[in-house]
Amino acid sequence: MVHRPSRAAEIGQWVFLLAVVAFGAFLASMLADNLARRNLAFGFGFLGARAGFDIPFHLISWTINDTYARALLVSLLNTVLVAAMSVVAATLLGLLVGIMRLSVNWLLRNIALVFVEFVRNTPQLVQIIFWYVAILQALPPPRQSIVLPGGILLNIRGLGLPDLVMRQGGLFAGSGALAALFAAAVLLATPFVWRLRVRAWRIGTFRVGPWALMLPALAAALLAAGVERIEYPTLTGFNVTGGTQIPPELVALWAGLTIYASAFIAEIVRGSIDAVPAGQHEAARALGLHPGQLLFLVVLPQAVRIIVPPLISQTLSLWKNTSIATVIGTAELMYQAQRVETATFRGAETFAVTTVAYLAVSCVITLIGVLYQRRYPVRAA
C-alpha cells in the first residue's frame, strides 16, 4: 500500500518551496542592485573576448589570442586530468596501505597506521604547499635533471614525459588522432561487449568473455597505427625540449591530492575487509588457500561492493579539493577563473560559469555512484 503524505505535509512542502524561490529571487535582486551601482550589466559576452595571457600547460591548443571561454575550458580539462590521475594513484596506494593496516606483521601494520594518522590529521593545503616548496622547488636545475625509468626527466621546472607524435594524413585518410579516438572508443565499449558474451573462456581462476582479449588488442593496434614516433624529453642547452612538460605546480597538486585521499581510502579498505564475514576467511583456509589467494580471490571481491560507495564520495571530495591549489598558481579551473575575473571585473559571471563546471563533473561522479549502487546493492550479511 502506497503511503501518501497528509494534507498538512503537502502544504508544508509547497510553503518551503515558495520560501526557497523567494530567497533565490532576493539574492538575484541583490546581485542586480550591486551590479547597477558599479554600472555593470549581467552578461556572458565577455567570454568571447581575447584573453591575452598564457597558460603553461594545456591539453588542447592554446595561444594568448584565444578567448576567456577557451581559457576556462583549458583549465577545466587540466583539472579533470589531475583529478583522474589522483583518483587512480590514491586508490592503488590506499588499497596497499589498507591491506598493510590488517597485516600480521607488526612493522608493516604500524607504518601504515602512522601514515594514515599523520596524513589525515594535517591540512591538505599544508601538504600541497609542502610538496611544492620543500620537495619540487628543491629539485636540481634542468642540466642536472633526475632521469627516471622510461625516459622521464624530473627537475625544478617540472616533469618531462615521453609524448606520442600522431601520424598526419595516415590511417583512415585523416590523422593519427582519429585512430587514437577509435582506440579510446573501443576501450570504452569493451566492458559493455563483455556483458553481452554468449559463452566464456576460463583463464586461470577468472572467466572472461570471448571478446576480452580481442577488443583491447584491437585498441592497441589502432593506437599503434596512428603513432608516428615517441618523442622523449631531451636536454637542449639549459632547457628540456620535446615530450610533454608538466609544470611543478600540477605535480605538487597531484602528489598532495593523492597522498591525502589515499589515507582515507586506506581506512575505507580496512573497514570493508573487516566487514566480510569471518566465515568466509575460515572457509577459504579450510580449502587450503594461502593468505594471498584468500585476500584476492575471496575477501576483496566481496569487499568491493562495500568499498565502492564511500570511494565514490571520496572521489567527489578529491574533485572539489582541486580548487585549493589556486594558492600555488596551478593551471587549474579556480586559478584561471580568478585570472579571468581580475582581467574582466566580471566576478559574478565568471564564478557562475566555474560553479556550473564543478557542479557538472560532480553530478557525473554522483551518477556513477548511484548507478553502481543500483546495480550492486550492499545487502546485510
So what's the pLDDT on residue 115? 95
So what's the pLDDT on residue 174? 45
- The pLDDT tens digits along the chain (381 residues) read 556 777 788 888 889 999 999 998 888 888 778 877 877 777 788 888 888 888 888 888 888 899 999 999 999 999 998 999 999 999 999 999 999 998 888 999 999 999 999 999 999 989 998 888 888 888 888 888 888 888 888 888 888 888 777 666 544 444 555 666 777 777 666 666 666 554 444 444 445 555 566 767 777 776 666 666 778 888 777 777 777 888 888 888 899 999 999 999 999 999 988 888 888 878 878 888 887 788 888 888 888 888 888 999 999 999 999 988 888 877 888 988 999 988 888 888 898 899 999 999 999 999 988 888 887 776 655
Cα(162)–Cα(244) distance, integer angstroms:
6
So what's the pLDDT on residue 171? 43
Cα(101)–Cα(97) distance, integer angstroms:
6
Quick one: which H or E segment has residue 228? strand 227-231
- CB neighbour class for 89 (10 Å; exposed up to 12, middle 13-18, buried from 19): middle
At 7 the three-state DSSP class reads helix
Q: Which residues contact 300 (CB under 8 A, 6 or more apart)?
A: 273
Residues in the chain, overall count: 381
Q: Which residues pair with 229 in a beta bridge?
A: 165
Q: Which residues contact 314 (CB under 8 A, 6 or more apart)?
A: 90, 261, 264, 265, 268
The answer to whether 69 and 49 are in contact (CB under 8 A) is no
Q: Which residues pair with 201 in a beta bridge?
A: 208
So what's the pLDDT on residue 90? 94
Secondary structure E strands in the chain:
146-148, 152-155, 158-161, 163-166, 201-203, 206-208, 227-231, 234-236, 239-241, 244-246
The answer to whether 219 and 187 are in contact (CB under 8 A) is yes
Q: Which residues pair with 246 in a beta bridge?
A: 159
Which CATH architecture is the domain 68-160+241-375 placed in? Orthogonal Bundle (1.10)
The answer to whether 125 and 327 are in contact (CB under 8 A) is yes
Residue 74 corresponds to which amino acid?
V
Closest C-alpha to 293, from 364, 204, 224: 204
Closest C-alpha to 112, from 255, 268, 272, 267: 267
So what's the pLDDT on residue 173? 40
Place of cell 510553503: 15
Q: Which three cell numbers stand for residue 105?
A: 606483521
Quick one: which H or E segment has residue 240? strand 239-241
The answer to whether 75 and 337 are in contact (CB under 8 A) is yes
Quick one: which H or E segment has residue 241? strand 239-241
The answer to whether 367 and 169 are in contact (CB under 8 A) is no
